[in-house]
Amino acid sequence: MKGVLAALAALGTAAMLAVWWLFPPGVSAKVEIPAGQSASETAAFLKREGVIRSVSAFKRLHEGRVESVRVAIPEGFMAKQIADRLESSGITDAASFMAYVRANNLEGYLFPTTYFFAKGLKAESVAHHMHEEFKENALPLFQRSGESRYTRLQVVALASIVQREARTIEEMPRIAAVYRNRLARRMRLEADPTVQYAHGKDTGEWMKGMRFKHLDIESPYNTYAYFGLPPGPICSPGLDAIAAALSPAKDDSLYFVADGDSGRHIFSKTLLEHNAAIARVKKKSAPSR
Query: To 10 degrees, the CA torsion angle through 151, 157, 160, 161?
Result: -120
Residue type, 26: G
Instruction: Convert 158-180 to b/e letters by CB count within 10 Å (16 or more is b).
Output: bbbbbbbbbeeeebbbbbbbbbb
pLDDT digits (tens, 9 = 90+) for 147-172: 778 999 999 999 999 999 998 999 99
Number of Cβ within 10 Å of residue 201's Cβ equals 19
Asked if 33 contacts 3 with a C-beta cutoff of 8 angstroms, the reply is: yes
Residue 32, pLDDT > 90, answer: no
The least confident of 14-28, 38-52, 75-89, 122-136 is 14-28
| Measured CA angle at 111 (ends 199, 210), to 5 deg | 20
Residue ranges of alpha helices (H) inside 25-109 are: 39-48, 55-62, 79-88, 94-103
Residue 12, pLDDT > 60, answer: no
Q: What is the pLDDT of residue 30?
A: 63
Residue 124, pLDDT > 60, answer: yes
Per-residue pLDDT band at 47 (split at 50, 70, 90) = confident
Tell me the mean pLDDT in the region 240-244: 98
- Positive/negative CA dihedral, 195, 199, 205, 207: negative
% of the chain with per-residue pLDDT over 90:
64
Tell me the mean pLDDT in the region 38-56: 70
DSSP label at residue 126 = H
Asked if 170 contacts 239 with a C-beta cutoff of 8 angstroms, the reply is: no
The least confident of 24-28, 84-88, 246-250, 266-270 is 24-28
Query: Domain extents for the chain?
Result: 2-62, 149-285
| Measured CA angle at 22 (ends 21, 25), to 5 deg | 65
Q: Three-class SS of residue 72?
A: strand
Ramachandran category for residue 174: left, alpha or beta (phi over 0 → left; psi -120 to 50 → alpha): alpha
Ramachandran category for residue 192: left, alpha or beta (phi over 0 → left; psi -120 to 50 → alpha): alpha
Looking at every residue in the chain, the average pLDDT score rounds to 85
Global pTM value: 0.78
The better pLDDT of the pair 198, 43 is held by 198
Residue 17, pLDDT > 60, answer: no
pLDDT digits (tens, 9 = 90+) for 51-78: 666 666 665 655 555 678 999 999 999 9
- Three-state SS letters, 142-173: HHHHCCCCCCHHHHHHHHHHHHHHCCCHHHHH
Q: What is the pLDDT of residue 35?
A: 61
d(CA 35, CA 107): 44
Residue 5, pLDDT > 70, answer: no
d(CA 62, CA 12): 9
Q: Of the candidates 100, 98, 19, 125, which has an alpha carbon nearest to the alpha carbon of residue 62?
A: 19
